[in-house]
């Protein structure tokens, strides 16, 4: 799930990323051009009560960002709720987020 909420003054958009807990055993990171594709910057937290991995980021409005999830330090995942998808140089696709 992807949830977007603009700040009251419109200077940022709070984007919350959620994935079902069963997609990973140990870790999930949301990575993209907003964090230089660094899997160590935006790790998701496991909410055991809700059964989801979750991370919220503040992004600048009026931009598009490519992103993916990196789970258990070995597998790449896309979010079906991305605004669209774009091919990447690894013969796969990145999700595109329009903020």
Q: What is the CATH number of the domain that holds 63?
A: 2.60.40.10
Structure confidence at residue 10 (pLDDT):
86
**Total domain count, the chain:** 1
Structural domain range at position 93: 2-98
> Cα Rg for the chain, rounded, in angstroms?
13
For residues 45 and 52, give the distance between their C-alpha atoms in angstroms, rounded to a whole number.
8
Tell me if 80 sits within 8 A of 18, measured CB to CB: no
* Position 79 confidence tier, pLDDT thresholds 50, 70, 90: very high
The stretch 68-94 carries a mean pLDDT of: 96
């Amino acid at each position: 799930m992807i949830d977007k909420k603009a700040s009251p003054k419109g200077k940022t958009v709070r984007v919350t990323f959620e994935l079902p807990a069963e997609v990973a055993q140990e870790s999930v990171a949301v990575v993209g051009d907003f964090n230089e594709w660094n899997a160590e910057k935006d790790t998701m937290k496991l909410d055991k009560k809700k059964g989801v991995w979750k991370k919220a980021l503040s992004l600048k409005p009026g931009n598009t960002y490519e992103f993916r999830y990196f789970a258990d330090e070995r597998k790449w995942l896309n979010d079906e709720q991305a605004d669209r998808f774009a091919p990447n140089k690894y013969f796969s696709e990145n999700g595109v987020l329009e903020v």
